Amino acid sequence: MTTSTDTTQRGSAPQPGGTRKNSLTAGQMPRWTWIAVAIGALVLAAGLTALLGGGSFSWTGWLIFAAVLYIVGMYVTTYAIENKRRATDGIWRNLVWAAFILALIPLVSVVWTVFANGLPTLLANPQLLWTDMGGVTGADDIATQNEGASLQGGFLHGLAGTLMITLMATIISVPIGLLTSIFLVEYSRGGWFSRSIVFFVDVMTGIPSIVAGLFAFAVVELFITTFIGESPRHVQMIKMGLTAAIALSVLMIPVVVRSTEEMLRVVPNELREASYALGVRKWRTIFKVVLPTAMSGIASGITLAIARVTGETAPILVTAGYAAATNWNPFSEWMTALPVFIYRQLMNPTAPAAGLPSADRAWAAALVLIVIVMLLNLAARIIAKAFAPKKTGR
């Protein structure tokens, strides 16, 4: 972008710093304009901040003022020296850059906060990974905070809960999701039924996670009160790992359907026809030709869906209860998932008067959770890349 159509007609315009006249570069700002404007903006912003701040100098305020002044200054300068079109182009380029930098601040801050708070705790207390909160009382935390005793407890029960609940949800969602997308791509011929499935899968994508939790709770409640009993002991049974897994399935199924559907649709029709022409039945064609061809994409989509539900908190909060001890059985007793553990430790610390140990545990758990989710995402990318069928490489 060194030329603009207008400048060619303005060959006689003054040319600062140029030794030779060139009709293509005439009427342009010198290269150093942006540096000059930037310095001007920084100085002016410093003055403004000091004036408005009334004694105390705010660094954040200074940077914000400087950025605004720079963008406005560049626009005015370009308008004056070059023309309006280039000035407009420039202001939008600067705004796009500003948006990028502005967005980086909170996102970097989130990651930094988790690492800065979680990593030291986790390194100093690796036992957090293999102990649970069974037997840990407020007195222990008060001792940790006030007398420097070592940090008690851990989140093994959260890891166990997350693993079991996610596993159950995957077992429920993957077959339903896979079969539905196979139905949509391979069997349906665009009738009202398949159109309504597509529509409702879209609706399901938008179900708020907490509503999915309420739904799972209501379903299991109805099932238990109808078929097992209505006593408080039975009502207690509603909250278990399986209920949470049902809630997560409601969130997971549409993700699996959409990603699998997309992957099946890119399998070339020629492969299906080749198989049919060999006298292979449709279901065998789907199993042995279509699915293997799309497998890497499907597996990566499923991994992403797992990553998504692993981080869900709200639906598990209302369906699985909150336990302090490790529970590996998703069919009975309350279960704690890692996100719920983080939430509970932050909102209701084990020792209300001494919240720091609980916060430490929560941040360590948050770090572990982020690492798990990121690893799943990474795995999805690797699966998609490594197991993709070889393209026509010669």
Partner 1 sequence: MTETATEPAKRSSLTASRGGAAGDKVFSGLALAAGVIILMVLAFVAIFLVVESLPALWPEVFSDEESIESADTFWQYVWPLMAGTLIASIIAILLATPVAVGIALYISHYAPKSVATPVGYVIDLLAAIPSVVFGAWGMTTLAGGVVPLYKWLHEYLGWIPLFGGDAGNTGRALLTSAIVLAVMILPIITSLCREIFIQTPKLHEEAALALGATRWEMIRMTVFPFARAGIISSIMLGLGRALGETMAVTLVLSPGIFSWSIITSGRNATIPSEIALNFPEAFGMRQSELIAAGLMLFIITLVVNMIARWIVNRHKEFSGAN
Partner 2 sequence: MSKRIEAIDLNVYYGNFLAVEGVNINIEPRSVTAFIGPSGCGKTTFLRTINRMHEVLPGARAEGRLLLDGEDVYATGVDPVTVRTQVGMVFQRPNPFPTMSIRDNILAGHKLNGARMSRSEADGIVEKSLRGANLWNEVKDRLDKPGSGLSGGQQQRLCIARSIAVEPDVILMDEPCSALDPISTLAIEDLINELKNEFTVVIVTHNMQQAARVADKTAFFNIAGTGKPGKLIEYDETSVIFNNPANKQTEDYVSGRFG
Question: Which positions touch partner 2 (CB under 8 A)?
Answer: 189-190, 268, 270-281, 284-285, 288-289, 292-293, 295, 389-394
307 binds, among partner 2, partner 1, none (CB under 5 to 8 A by kind): partner 1
Q: Does 387 bind partner 1 (CB under 8 A)?
A: no
Site for partner 1 in 350-369 (CB under 8 A): 359, 362-363, 366, 369
Nearest by Cα to 133 from 371, 362, 373, 366: 362
Distance of CA 98 to the CA centre of its chain: 23
CB closer to partner 2, 221 vs 262:
262
Give least dist CB 389 to partner 1, A: 23
Provide CB contacts within 8 A for 69, sequence distance 6+. 40, 41, 44, 45
The answer to whether 368 and 157 are in contact (CB under 8 A) is no
When CB distances are held under 5 to 8 angstroms depending on the partner's kind, the choice from partner 2, partner 1, none that residue 184 binds is partner 1
Nearest to partner 1 of 110, 228 (CB atom): 110
Indicate the burial class of 210 (C-beta count within 10 angstroms; 0-12, 13-18, 19 or more).
middle
| Nearer to partner 1 among residue 110 and residue 274 (C-beta) | 110
Closest approach of Cβ 160 to partner 1, in Å? 18
Q: Which of 9-17, 35-43, 90-98, 136-144 is the region at the interface with partner 1 (rule: CB under 8 A)?
A: 90-98
Q: What count of other Cβ atoms lies within 10 Å of the Cβ of residue 145?
A: 18
Rounded CA gap, 201 and 63, in Å?
A: 46
Structural contact between residues 87 and 79, judged by C-beta atoms closer than 8 angstroms: yes
Whole-number Å distance between alpha carbons of 119 and 356: 15
209: contact with partner 1 by CB under 8 A? yes
Question: Which of partner 2, partner 1, none sits in contact with 31, Cβ below 5 to 8 A by type?
Answer: none
CB of 298 to partner 2, least distance (A): 13
Half-sphere exposure (CA, 13 Å, Cβ side) for 228?
Answer: 14
**Residue 88 engages partner 1 in binding (rule: CB under 8 A):** yes
CA distance 228 to 238: 11
Q: Which does 119 bind (CB under 5 to 8 A by kind): partner 1, partner 2, none?
A: none
Distance of closest approach, residue 289 Cβ to partner 2, in angstroms: 6
By the rule CB under 8 A, 342 interacts with partner 1: yes
> Of partner 1, partner 2, none, which one does residue 386 interact with (CB within 5 to 8 Å by kind)?
none
By rule CB under 8 A, what count of residues binds partner 1?
97
CB-based burial label for 226 (10 Å; 0-12, 13-18, 19+) = exposed
